[in-house]
Amino acid sequence: MKNLIKNKNFLSLVLLLFFLLLLKIDYRFIEQWNCCQDDHDYFMHAETIALDFDLDYSNQLKGNEEKRFNNNGKIAPKAFIGTGLLSAPFLFVGNLFNYFSSNSLMNFGLLFYSLSSVVYLFLTIIMIYKLLNSVYSNIDFKFIFLLIFGSGIPYFAFERYSMSHIFEIFTIMLTIYFSHMFYKSNEKNNFYAFFIPIAILLAILVRWVNYYAFILPYITFLLFKKAYKKDLLLRYNKYFFGGALLSVLIFSYLSKTMYGVITFNPQFVYGTSGMLDGYLDTSEGVQYFLLNNFKHFINIMFTKEFGIFWFSPIIFIALVLVIYNFLFKKENKILYLLLSISFAQIFTIVLIWKSTASSYGFRYLFNLVPLSILIFYHYAKNKNIQFINYYLYVFSIIGILSLFFFETTEMTQLSIVNEVNSFGRELRFTEPNYLIGFINSFTFFDSYLKIFTTSFLGAIFFKLLISAFGVSSLISFLTGLGLPVENQDFIDYLDKLNQIEYSKFIFIILFFIYFSIKFVKYAQNET
């Protein structure tokens, strides 16, 4: 058994099956993205760049001009452009493959586009590992992998791929990584100095409100300063200012071209004017405002509705470490002040919205995952704090299981009618008792069936059965086994599988084989 566990081929196969089981068909078995929601907004950016080669959204918004950003006839998606910039090359290449495909269902353009988020997730993992390994050495890649996959963020790569959150963590980590390489490198300091502002620009373009990206270079320096040359200062580097100037010009050009004005105000674009003023209203008294926010803050941590203590343990631990060190430790005060500001800025967004934001987990917090991992290692690497490690191991596994069991039962599915959430707001797409529903879902056979059938592992399995038996014979066979397959949803599912070419499944398998082998090498320190 020990030999089997150490066997590279076996481990690669296990990892491949894990990826294929986690990879979902829900948003991939489609022909196109239809207006109007955030997912489509991000796709519009990618489509107009990759296929139209312009920033004119009239082709994407036909008939829906009034539903998105519209200012004096200037139309654009409400969502920000950064995700589209990063995913557009994938859509472009995939679209070239469409010339060899006759079927529009899960066409190659959409397939490649959907895998862009997976690529950026994996690149983020690699950057985190390489940075930590260069500072501390002998870093356990498997543990980093566990922390990320147990944080909730992979949902936005393996299922709802057309959202911004994977691109957030990539650009945040890219900024940190370039900063680290600038301080550490002996030969390419100017190269990294120039591209640090470009990375910050990308982070802001992905989500304008992630303002803490601007202080990440200094945070990086303070986190790992023992590993750096003390005489190397970014603020004196002319290449850094050159990159900063270029970034401002690019941002201004994109703003003017898309929105008709140069604006740095995300509320102007997203149509949320007044929300911040409403949040800061202290007409009921400052004491009420502070107590109410404290109550909601505790709710974010421990609510049964995706509380980060249960489902995003690395963010929870990092938050506790930041607060503890800021309040009670005298050393590194500036570092923990800056980290406190960073966390406070992102948590305030959740406090303003008073919701999990209509999807899996507290998704507005997920951009903190890379920084949270670095904080944990900075604080805990040379300290014997086993209870934190145990907590992260156990609850990261719970977080991974939650990804699988999400939307497998009625109590793990977001409501499609108005329901009172854990903040007391009446909204759609919420589930205030998700934790209980998640635990109960382990006892339902249908949960496991749904996990399998909605995964690409299940899709590949049924595709092979269709090829062997045909759709009608397969349904009869499965019915004879007593499985609940005689419903329209399952029949439609098999019909879609019958339409999709084998080449697309083969590509997906080869794609994940590559990363499975690569990750096993990292896990065995063969980089």
H or E element, residue 420:
strand 419-420
Same domain for 253 and 106:
yes
> What's the whole-model pTM score?
0.96
Same domain for 298 and 217:
yes
- Structural domain contains residue 361: yes
- Structural domain contains residue 6: no
Same domain for 461 and 347:
no
Same domain for 285 and 227:
yes
pLDDT, tens digit only, all 527 positions of the chain: 566 667 899 999 999 999 999 999 999 999 989 888 899 999 999 999 999 999 999 889 888 888 888 888 889 999 999 999 999 999 999 999 998 887 889 999 999 999 999 999 999 999 999 999 999 988 999 999 999 999 999 999 999 999 999 999 999 999 999 999 999 877 778 999 999 999 999 999 999 999 999 999 999 999 999 888 766 778 888 999 999 999 999 999 999 999 999 988 888 888 765 566 677 777 788 888 899 999 999 999 999 999 999 999 999 999 999 999 999 988 889 999 999 999 999 999 999 999 999 999 999 999 999 999 999 999 887 676 889 999 999 999 999 999 999 999 999 999 999 999 999 999 999 999 999 999 999 999 999 999 999 999 999 999 999 998 888 888 888 887 777 677 788 888 989 999 999 999 999 999 999 999 999 999 987 65
Same domain for 468 and 401:
no
Q: Which domain holds residue 467?
A: 455-527
Residues near 518 by beta carbon (within 8 Å), at least 6 away in sequence: none
Q: According to DSSP H, which parts of 154-259 are helical?
A: 155-158, 165-184, 189-206, 216-223, 238-259
* 3-class DSSP assignment, residue 419: strand
Residues near 112 by beta carbon (within 8 Å), at least 6 away in sequence: 90, 91, 93, 94, 95, 97
Residues near 34 by beta carbon (within 8 Å), at least 6 away in sequence: 40
DSSP labels, 71-111:
ETTEEE-SS-SHHHHHHHHHHHHHHHHGGG----TT-HHHH
Same domain for 479 and 390:
no
- Structural domain contains residue 10: no
Total number of domains in the chain:
2
Same domain for 52 and 155:
yes
Eight-state DSSP code of residue 455: B
| Long-range residue pairs from 471-480, CB within 8 A, at least 24 positions apart, any chain | 471/495, 471/498
Same domain for 495 and 346:
no
Query: Token pair 């992260």 is at which residue?
Result: 392
- Structural domain contains residue 367: yes
**Tokens standing for residue 480:** 């004879």
